[in-house]
Amino acid sequence: MKKHIVLLPGDGIGQEIIGSARAVLEEIAEKFGHTFTFETHAIGGTAVDEHGTPLPEETVTACKQADAVLLGAVGGPKWDDLPSHLRPEKGLLGIRKELGLFANLRPVKGFKKLLGSSPLKEELVEDSDLLIVRELTGGLYFGTPSERQENGQSVVDTLYYERHEIERIVDKAFQSARLRRNHLTSVDKANVLESSKLWREVVEEKKTDYPDVTVEHMLVDAAAMKLIQNPAQFDVIVTENMFGDILSDEASVLTGSLGMLPSASLRSDGVGLYEPVHGSAPDIAGQNIANPLAMILSTALMLRHSFGMDEEASCIEKAVEEVVDLGYHTKDLKITNGIETNTTNMTHKVVEYMSQNDACS
């Protein structure tokens, strides 16, 4: 198969880990006889520096023409004081909106070897395997107007959803639950927010279309607690944009590091952007110590969701698991008697395993 991929490295460690994605894809191309072509474009703070905007028009055009997009991360202290429309994060929100990527899938599955990296008790983390389905193009992030008023002394952010926006993400979550363990937890704040009441109403209506899926409603504060008290009770969690953002960083603690969580941002026709859940990690940027596995695993999600390449995706996932099993890890993780290594070497190890393993052919 021939596929054209746009790479958006972005800022901070995004610039370092994007190379890891490309390296595993080049290995996949060779092993499986595919042709992947790459085109790199600017987004975030880097784009502000180079083009005066966090989302240049040419980046949007290239992404729209590509078969899939891979993004590193955006943001950093250098751009924190810019006006809102110039912030790197606006570039990320802009590309999600431009591409219509309303469904953000964030799988959270720990590796046995990394159980000791989580501050939680091993027996709690052991059986956890969940998927957060986060609404990505609505809610507080996109409400209008978002502004300061009355000489900066009052502010407004608007949490706005239309019924159809809730329906499509809830459908996606039910469909995802069917491919897993048929359990859906809808997380909201229906005891306070009108938007959550509509959200709950939609879930109740939709569940009649999916009688094989068990549905549970949970308030977000309780969900945050249960996620670390008993994570194994969750299969698929569906929630609005902001709650999903917060709960996914929390859930990363189960895996030992934010550097382990990949994500897929999709619309209904399979077009997608793939990026780690973590940010640009300014505290470790430029040191070649970032964990590249969230980026590498995002690449596997791209192969599976956008290209229908299941075997190829599994090849990458198996290689990651194997390398971790051998004890290799970056500084953010802890493995007793393991081998601490850097971003480049960790990537080499994954590629090396892929090249040697018969499962990858």
Residues with a catalytic annotation lie at 141, 189, 221, 245, 249
Return the number of the residue (76 or 231) whose C-beta is nearest ligand NAD.
Answer: 76
State the binding string over 8-27 for ligand NAD (x if CB under 6 A, else -): -----x--------------
Return the number of the residue (277 or 303) whose C-beta is nearest Mn ion.
Answer: 277
Cβ 195 vs Cβ 240: under 8 Å = yes
Q: Does 317 bind Mn ion (CB under 5 A)?
A: no
Minimal distance in Å, beta carbon 138 to ligand IPM?
Answer: 12
Cβ 187 vs Cβ 247: under 8 Å = yes
Minimal distance in Å, beta carbon 154 to ligand NAD?
Answer: 24
Cα-based distances in Å from 35 to 8, 26, 29, 205, 304: 19, 9, 6, 44, 16
Q: Does 245 bind Mn ion (CB under 5 A)?
A: yes
Residue from 262, 313, 259, 312 nearest 104 by CA? 262
- Residue 168 assigned as binding residue: no
- Residue 280 assigned as binding residue: yes
Site for ligand IPM, rule CB under 6 A: 75, 89, 92-93, 245, 277, 279
Dihedral sign of CA atoms 316, 317, 322, 327 in order: positive
Cβ neighbours of residue 183 under 8 Å, at least 6 residues apart? 177, 213, 214, 216, 234, 235, 236
Minimal distance in Å, beta carbon 248 to Mn ion?
Answer: 7
List the single partner that 185 binds among ligand IPM, ligand NAD, Mn ion, none, CB under 5 to 8 Å by kind.
Answer: none
Minimal distance in Å, beta carbon 256 to ligand IPM?
Answer: 18
- Residue 107 assigned as binding residue: no
Q: Does 135 bind Mn ion (CB under 5 A)?
A: no
Backbone angles phi, psi at 187, to 5 degrees: -105, 130
Question: How far, in Å, CA of 319 to CA of 166, rounded?
Answer: 37
Question: How far, in Å, CA of 131 to CA of 134, rounded?
Answer: 9
Residue range at the interface with Mn ion (CB under 5 A); choices 31-39, 78-86, 189-197, 239-247: 239-247
Return the number of the residue (120 or 246) whose C-beta is nearest Mn ion.
Answer: 246
Residue from 48, 40, 106 nearest 75 by CA? 48
Q: Which of helix, strand or coil describes residue 155?
A: strand
- Residue 86 assigned as binding residue: yes
- Residue 272 assigned as binding residue: no
Give the residues lining the site for ligand NAD (CB under 6 A): 13, 73-76, 89, 92, 258-259, 275, 278-284, 290-291, 294, 332
